[in-house]
Structure 1
């Protein structure tokens, strides 16, 4: 089930929310079980065959956590056993074809990376004595909580369980804030990410051989499709959770405004970056043993982070590129202790991110290389068919592009103007957390920014209603979120 589907909007969400409100009044101790059952139904609706897999994973990790708590100082063998089992499960479904060079028809369970990483973090915290859970229903909700289950954020037990523990107190302000944030996220997905997606496929198709302008349009289209797709999902997750009075951790904070690549990773998929730092980079040694080992640990962390996103050489190279970026950044900072953010720094960071996204999106390294070659002008320069038609009409030239044996990619329609709008919003508009900063939409506090800030009232109510109606009229087909693939 998808957040941007009619079934979710007009059946699932009203039923779950209505049941939660009724139980909050008449049987508040049952709300946790209700949300847990609703979350399992949400997952099973996609493919009920994988619901037993999710339940087996939850049961196994809950049992191991109990065993570690009862083992005193002999926790390490249990932790090693559990980590091996979780990584084996993930590897079987996600990496079997890649590692064994087989072409097996393995269906990847939706959300397996997220619920596996969430539980790995929980087990490590249990080993460190920082967490513990003795109620199976609460642990089931923690892992399967439907706003985060499919594409994050990666949750921490210490952040979520105190919220699940407290007595439910439905609040009109929570509902208004949550619903408004959800609608903003839905608009990002339906009105921005989906329309520009039509510019991506033709450029990244194997053998497309785009020319300079086509390659740049395709690369920028994917860059901002992924941005608003993931930003939209993150907003919807935060908004849905807030309707139930629960705050999720912030997972997305205008990463394309980053002044350097380290800041980019502090803003993009923030909970994954936190997981990689706390449970991979730091255990590897972090920056404790000198510059060379620090750079090695950065490279290993980003290579494994790339593999987390998918089983393929494009993901490995993407992770390696970001590892190189981070090494170069930290090396530069060691020579320039406190470099001030500059327009050149932001531009260079953005270009580096775009180059890496090309590799990330391409079906293979050969296609990625061809697109990057085209972006550098290696495949020649020509105005794409749709844009040539725009130009001739605008300037009154009365000509149309001729083919002359060249394979043109048509960039007509509304997609290019939407891409330009998306770019302007990403770089200059306040983000969702800034708009709703007065009401603390997530666990982290966002500083107030002058400009548009949401508040209950007729003007914002009308604006959100119009945005929601625009989304409904644009939902002619249901499209998956890009992070569903990871």
Structure 2
């Protein structure tokens, strides 16, 4: 089920929230959490029922491994062996479904063999719930996890606002909140908290439906062209740069907003990353929960920055290669992760041996680096990425300039897109800079709502703006059909 579908907006979400709070008012906190688990499993299975058994198996196995690790901490058993078993299970399942085909192709290429296997359907959200539960097992091993109730654990893993595409939540962030429900700490979300949640959700829906989905036809048209002019190649890369940001940050906003309706605070996942003036700053603002996971469970275990400059640079590069592979099985993701790892290495060396550059120059270099590397992230193969980047920097402006906008309008399935983009002749040659200015200088949804500062009160005029944004997004939805979020592919 999609956040940006009328079924979710006008049926599923209101029904689940209403029943949840009714159960809390009746003093049935346990039933309220059980209802959340049932609703979340239905939400997951609505997409494809075949995905559900794997999620349930993963929950049961990791829950009982956590219990076993807890007993081991009390002096019984071998903690290292149990943790190794948990890592083997989780990474093995992830590798089989997500990387088996790629690894088999690589084996055939290296060995000259011709083995084949049936195509596997990637289970929805497998990367997210796998990483989340790996972190849980590691923290059980270290003695940091103390909440082992099965229903609480199920809610922790399946809570539908963050289940499909994050944020990647930590048990220390979530379990105490769900446990507080039983004590009445979150019995009913107040009107101010609900208003803040609806405000953030509405802005996220607007980002996805009205902004990201408007750039999508341009990006899709550009990546499908055999020949692009230089200007259209830049249109292609910028279109995807904005599509990806507004798609994923929109999802994260909707997840945070929906969670607030249950009295649950999810971690912030985006803080205007396109404002960053360095690659290090970018990763402190982009997909923050993944960056934190990679730092805590990959970079630091490798030795972090405590083993000298050479090993620190190695650890940075390996961490970002893991981040690239996490996103997908393909050379494009490996190259993308490697480029970001090398950029982190270069920045660390620069900060050690050279003067700091002006912030405006750092921003210009960082944004263009991000824009170029997103081409590898989006391209179906390295040849496509090379073709687009080659066109971007071609000294001769080959191809048919301006064809991209026409192709996008032909591919778009939303009549409003053709009216707005085609009717007003909004060529992205000047629309993209306009969106960039808004992205860099306008206050983001976390700042507008006060969520990042822990505030919840909103003035009436902001509520009116959110209502208008929601109404416009619904109008776009009714004119077309809901599109899948990009991070559903990971």
Q: With the length of structure 1 as denominator, give the TM-score of the two structures.
A: 0.89
Contact in 2 for aligned 1:110/1:150 (Cα 8 Å): yes
Contact in 2 for aligned 1:202/1:208 (Cα 8 Å): no
1:345 is aligned, of 359, 362, 365, to: 362
Distance 1:180 1:388 in 2: 33
Distance 2:291 2:464 in 1: 37
Q: Which residue of 1 aligns with 2:166?
A: 152
Deviation at 1:308, TM superposition (A): 0.3
1:335 is aligned, of 337, 345, 353, to: 353
- Are 2:287 and 1:269 aligned? yes
Q: Which residue of 1 aligns with 2:234?
A: 216
- Are 2:19 and 1:19 aligned? yes
Other structure's SS at 1:99 match? helix
Choose 375-384 or 306-315, whichever is displaced more: 375-384
Contact in 2 for aligned 1:192/1:422 (Cα 8 Å): no
Q: Which residue of 2 aligns with 1:47?
A: 48
- Are 2:445 and 1:445 aligned? no
1:433 is aligned, of 446, 471, 488, to: 446
Deviation at 1:29, TM superposition (A): 3.2
Q: Which residue of 1 aligns with 2:103?
A: 99
Residue 272 to residue 485, structure 1, CA distance change in 2 (3 Å): same
Contact in 2 for aligned 1:118/1:154 (Cα 8 Å): yes
**How do 1:454-469 and structure 2 match up within 5 A?**
455-457=458-460, 459-469=461-471
Q: Which residue of 1 aligns with 2:476?
A: 474
Q: Which residue of 1 aligns with 2:177?
A: 163
Distance 2:119 2:486 in 1: 21
Deviation at 1:56, TM superposition (A): 0.5
Choose 169-178 or 28-37, whichever is displaced more: 28-37
Contact in 2 for aligned 1:181/1:239 (Cα 8 Å): yes
Q: Which residue of 1 aligns with 2:409?
A: none
2:144 is aligned, of 122, 130, 140, to: 130
Aligned residue-pair number:
452
Contact in 2 for aligned 1:24/1:170 (Cα 8 Å): no
Gaps of 5+ in 2: 106-115, 407-420
Distance 1:17 1:421 in 2: 38
Distance 1:179 1:91 in 2: 38
Q: Which residue of 1 aligns with 2:435?
A: 422
1:299 is aligned, of 314, 317, 334, to: 317
Contact in 2 for aligned 1:198/1:415 (Cα 8 Å): no
Q: Which residue of 2 aligns with 1:202?
A: 221
Gaps of 5+ in 1: 390-410
Q: Which residue of 2 aligns with 1:119?
A: 133
Distance 1:340 1:454 in 2: 39
- Are 2:153 and 1:139 aligned? yes
Deviation at 1:341, TM superposition (A): 5.0
Deviation at 1:250, TM superposition (A): 0.7
Deviation at 1:97, TM superposition (A): 0.5
Choose 22-31 or 123-132, whichever is displaced more: 22-31
Distance 1:41 1:202 in 2: 35
Distance 1:225 1:249 in 2: 22
Contact in 2 for aligned 1:212/1:377 (Cα 8 Å): yes
Deviation at 1:35, TM superposition (A): 1.0
Distance 1:415 1:184 in 2: 25
Distance 1:378 1:478 in 2: 40
Choose 207-216 or 53-62, whichever is displaced more: 207-216
Contact in 2 for aligned 1:435/1:454 (Cα 8 Å): no
Q: Can you list the C-alpha shifts for 1:120-176, whole angstroms capped at 9, x where unaligned? A: 000000000001332111000000110110101111101111111112232111111
Choose 297-306 or 161-170, whichever is displaced more: 161-170
Residue 235 to residue 466, structure 1, CA distance change in 2 (3 Å): same
Q: Can you list the C-alpha shifts for 1:447-472, whole angstroms capped at 9, x where unaligned? A: x9xxxx97242x33332222111111
Distance 1:369 1:378 in 2: 15
Deviation at 1:418, TM superposition (A): 5.2
Distance 1:124 1:341 in 2: 41
1:76 is aligned, of 60, 74, 80, to: 80
Q: With the length of structure 2 as denominator, give the TM-score of the two structures.
A: 0.89
Q: Can you list the C-alpha shifts for 1:434-458, whole angstroms capped at 9, x where unaligned? A: 1111xxx2xx537x9xxxx97242x
Root mean square deviation, CA, Å: 2.0
Contact in 2 for aligned 1:36/1:141 (Cα 8 Å): yes
Distance 1:271 1:387 in 2: 35
Distance 1:287 1:233 in 2: 33
Residue 203 to residue 387, structure 1, CA distance change in 2 (3 Å): closer
Distance 1:272 1:415 in 2: 35
Deviation at 1:278, TM superposition (A): 0.3
Residue 432 to residue 46, structure 1, CA distance change in 2 (3 Å): same
Distance 2:175 2:271 in 1: 24
Distance 1:41 1:266 in 2: 34
Contact in 1 for aligned 2:218/2:405 (Cα 8 Å): no
Distance 1:461 1:281 in 2: 42
Deviation at 1:281, TM superposition (A): 0.5
Per residue, is there more helix in 1 or in 2? 2
Deviation at 1:388, TM superposition (A): 10
Q: Which residue of 2 aligns with 1:362?
A: 379
Q: Which residue of 2 aligns with 1:375?
A: 392
Residue 364 to residue 223, structure 1, CA distance change in 2 (3 Å): same
Q: Which residue of 2 aligns with 1:178?
A: 197
Distance 1:348 1:340 in 2: 11
